[in-house]
Amino acid sequence: MSFLTKEPVQRAEKYLKEFDTNLEVISLETSARTAAEAASSLKCEVGAIVKSLLFSADDKFILCLVSGDKKASLNKLKKNLNINNMEMAKAEDVKQITGYTIGGVSPVGHLKKVNIYIDKNLDRFKDLYAAAGHPNCVFKISFINLVQITNGSILDITE
C-alpha cells in the first residue's frame, strides 16, 4: 500500500494543494521519522528539516516548528508566551489534536486549531522539508511559504 493513499497524508496534501498547487508530497523509501533520518533520506542539512513539536502549555496546546539541528527551549517559550506550565504533549494528545502520529506530524492539516510558533533559525535555508502526515512522507517549502501556510508567528524559541 502506498503511503500517499493514507488518510493523514491525503489530509496534509489537500491543505498543501489549497495553498499552492505546486506543493507536492514526496514519498520516501526510507524513514524520515527523525530529523537526522529525514536529512539522510533527502540528502540535505539536518537544519533544513522542520520538526513539528506539540506542547501542552497551561490549558492549551501549541505547535512549534523547529529547525532539525536545534532544540526547542521551554524557558524561551514560557517567557515569550507568558506560560507557566509547559511540557511535551503525550502521544495520544498529539494524535487527537493534530490527527498525526509522532514522526509524521505535519505543520498543516490539523484536526483541531492550534497556535503555531516558528523557529526563526529556519530562515537560514532556501528549501525546508516538513512531514506530510507519515514518517515516510515530506514536502518541500520555502520559509516564507511555511509562515504563510501555517499562519505561524516567528519567534526565537530554540537553544
- Note the pLDDT of residue 31: 83
pLDDT for the residue numbered 110: 97
CA distance 39 to 13: 21
Q: Give residue limits of the domains in the chain.
A: 3-155
150 with 141: CB under 8 angstroms?
A: no
Query: What's the confidence (pLDDT) of residue 33?
Result: 86
Q: Could you tell me which of 34, 20, 31 has the C-alpha nearest to residue 137? A: 31
Kindly state the DSSP code that residue 130 receives in the 8-state scheme. Answer: E
**10-residue mean pLDDT series, the chain (159 residues):** 87 97 94 90 96 95 97 95 95 97 96 97 97 96 98 95
Identify the pLDDT of residue 156: 94
The three grid cell numbers given for residue 22, joined into one nine-digit string: 505546486
Identify the pLDDT of residue 1: 54
Protein fold of 3-155:
YbaK protein (3.90.960)
CA 42 – CA 28 distance, rounded (Å): 8
Residue 32 pLDDT: 85
pLDDT in the model for residue 4: 84
Q: What is the pTM of this model?
A: 0.95
Q: Which residues contact 113 (CB under 8 A, 6 or more apart)?
A: none
Cell of 135: 514518517
Q: What is the pLDDT of residues 122-148, one digit of tens each?
A: 999 999 999 999 999 999 999 999 999
Measured CA to CA in angstroms, residue 156 lies from 59, 71, 78, 94 at distances of: 22, 11, 12, 23
CA distance 151 to 115: 9
Residue matched to cell numbers 524561551: 76
